[in-house]
């Protein structure tokens, strides 16, 4: 645990803790995954993109932890963003009889899965949402039914599969190839094993957009549903650890793309679509990332079978802005843009603690530097940031990103100067609330 003498100047955030106290107890864990792919009769399916068919299944994966006095759940879905928002959260928490503070539910931000549009369930998406909701609840139920004595540990590694995707004004929209911006290569892994040491679940975290296959036409001139880089990486890990469930979580990936994509220069005159050949690109990148997750998992040694489980939620509100001019339809390039004052933007946050492992959740797409700063200033060494929780707020740029020659930050709904310090302060506030509970339990 890091030193707590930070001279905190934390604003008065409204923090909703799951419990006023928590107890150390013997860990039990269970994990499950359920296919949440659209049925054949739903195609063509429009959600962000128009999909013609399913190439490979998409899943809801659930991990439930219980220490005898507290139960928490971590659920990952192969979606662009969480559909249903609070309705889906209620369905899961009702099933497990837990509070929302005890749930971290994320989308993998797979752009070749349903879920674009703020998580709203339109009339056209209602039939698919019924499949999704049932699948997520079934995954939670099955994981809960499989609870068994378990141990938990944490480890990190590095993978060179992401790159900053800074968009340069006046040069069109070039995905990747932007050395100006930072890129966090950290792979974080929470491993849960049974009493014999065999993995039950691998909870992996990495900062990259799930967009290798985005806008790539792979069959009969159509785009297909796929779990993309997050899902293929999880599948690779599950193929290695045959009885484990691998949950993928996106880190601070708001400005991070894969190194290689099947469709690039997407708004420029020289757009290139690799078509079906892009599956080979996806295979290589997912294998590289999966290999590192497997390596890290195998090297985790400091595991424990006694845990404190605790959760809290809060939010921060920051001044907003909107475009004062009208961008060219379908293009992110062009010259400098003008912004004007807009409505304030609320960013929901969550913190789930498993002993000294801190899962910092954000309902938005966070830029790399904020994720790095949250981890660096956390009171706990084993901190990860999980993004794309329900009720997605927006892209959340770091203050430094507004100084780059980029449209990604400049045209964002958030004004600079608020989100980064407010989020860091809010997470510290929640950690400070947990700290005496953790000390008392020990």
Lowest mean pLDDT among 110-124, 179-193, 395-409: 395-409
The pLDDT, as a whole number, for residue 5 is 31
Unique residue bearing structure tokens 């605790």 = 310
Beta strand residue intervals within 14-131, DSSP E: 16-17, 25-26, 28-35, 45-47, 49-54, 59-66, 71-77, 103-107
40 class by beta-carbon count within 10 Å (0-12 exposed, 13-18 middle, 19+ buried): exposed
* Cis peptide bond N-terminal to 44, omega within 30: yes
The pLDDT, as a whole number, for residue 197 is 96
Give the C-alpha separation, 207 to 188, whole Å: 10
54: nearest Cα among 68, 64, 44, 62: 44
Note the pLDDT tens digit of each residue in 250-292.
Answer: 999 999 999 999 987 656 666 789 999 999 999 999 999 999 9
- Using an 8 Å Cβ cutoff, are 307 and 24 in contact? yes
pTM: 0.93
Average pLDDT over residues 169-182: 48
**What does the block give as tokens for 226?**
């796929």
Helices (H), 241-334: 278-298
**How would DSSP label each residue in 180-195?**
TS----EEEEEEEEET
Give the C-alpha separation, 216 to 239, whole Å: 26
Residues 6+ apart with CB under 8 A from 387: 106, 109, 249, 250, 251, 252, 253, 254, 361, 362, 363, 364, 365, 366
The pLDDT, as a whole number, for residue 122 is 92
- Average pLDDT along the chain: 90
Residue 198 — pLDDT band, cuts 50, 70, 90?
A: very high
The pLDDT, as a whole number, for residue 4 is 34
The pLDDT, as a whole number, for residue 335 is 58
The pLDDT, as a whole number, for residue 169 is 40
**How would DSSP label each residue in 274-291?**
-GGGHHHHHHHHHHHHHH
Average pLDDT over residues 365-377: 97
Note the pLDDT tens digit of each residue in 74-117.
Answer: 999 999 999 999 999 999 999 999 999 999 999 999 999 999 88
């Amino acid at each position: 645990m890091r030193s707590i003498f930070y001279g905190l100047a934390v604003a008065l955030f409204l923090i909703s803790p799951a419990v006023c106290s928590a107890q150390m107890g013997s860990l039990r864990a269970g994990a499950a995954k359920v296919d949440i792919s659209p049925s054949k009769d739903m195609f063509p399916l429009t959600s962000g993109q128009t999909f013609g068919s399913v190439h490979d299944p998409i899943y809801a994966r659930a991990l439930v932890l219980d220490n005898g006095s507290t139960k928490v759940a971590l659920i990952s879905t192969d979606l662009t963003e969480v559909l249903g928002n609070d309705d889906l959260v209620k369905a899961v928490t009702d099933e497990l009889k837990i509070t929302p503070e005890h749930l971290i539910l994320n989308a993998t931000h797979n752009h070749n899965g349903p879920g674009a549009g703020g998580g709203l369930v339109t009339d056209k998406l209602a039939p698919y949402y019924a499949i999704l909701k049932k699948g997520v609840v079934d995954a939670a139920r099955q994981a809960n039914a499989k609870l068994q004595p378990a141990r938990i540990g944490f480890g990190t590694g590095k993978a060179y599969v992401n790159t900053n995707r800074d968009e340069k004004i006046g040069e069109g929209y070039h995905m990747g190839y932007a050395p100006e911006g930072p890129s966090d290569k950290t792979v974080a892994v929470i491993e849960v094993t049974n009493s014999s040491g065999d993995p039950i679940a691998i909870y992996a975290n990495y900062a990259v957009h799930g967009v290798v296959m985005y806008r790539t036409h792979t069959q009969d001139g159509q785009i297909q549903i796929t779990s993309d880089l997050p899902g293929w990486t999880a599948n690779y890990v599950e193929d290695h650890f045959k009885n484990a469930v691998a949950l993928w979580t996106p880190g601070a990936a708001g400005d991070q793309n894969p190194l290689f994509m099947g469709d690039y220069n997407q708004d420029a005159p020289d757009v290139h679509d690799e078509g079906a050949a892009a599956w080979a690109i996806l295979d290589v990148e997912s294998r590289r990332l999966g290999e590192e997750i497997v390596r890290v998992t195998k090297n985790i040694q400091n595991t424990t079978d006694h845990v404190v489980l605790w959760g809290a939620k809060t939010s921060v509100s920051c001044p907003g802005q909107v475009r004062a001019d009208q961008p060219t339809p379908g293009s992110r390039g062009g010259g400098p843009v003008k912004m004007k004052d807009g409505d304030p933007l609320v960013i929901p946050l969550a913190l789930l603690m498993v002993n000294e492992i801190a899962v910092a959740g954000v309902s938005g797409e966070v830029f790399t530097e904020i994720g790095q700063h949250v981890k660096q200033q956390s009171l706990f060494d084993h901190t990860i940031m999980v993004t794309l929780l329900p009720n997605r707020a927006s892209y959340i740029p770091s203050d430094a990103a507004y100084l780059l020659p980029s449209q990604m930050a400049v045209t964002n709904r958030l004004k600079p100067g608020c989100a980064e310090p407010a989020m860091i302060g809010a997470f510290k506030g929640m950690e400070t609330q947990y700290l005496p509970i953790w000390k008392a339990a020990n």
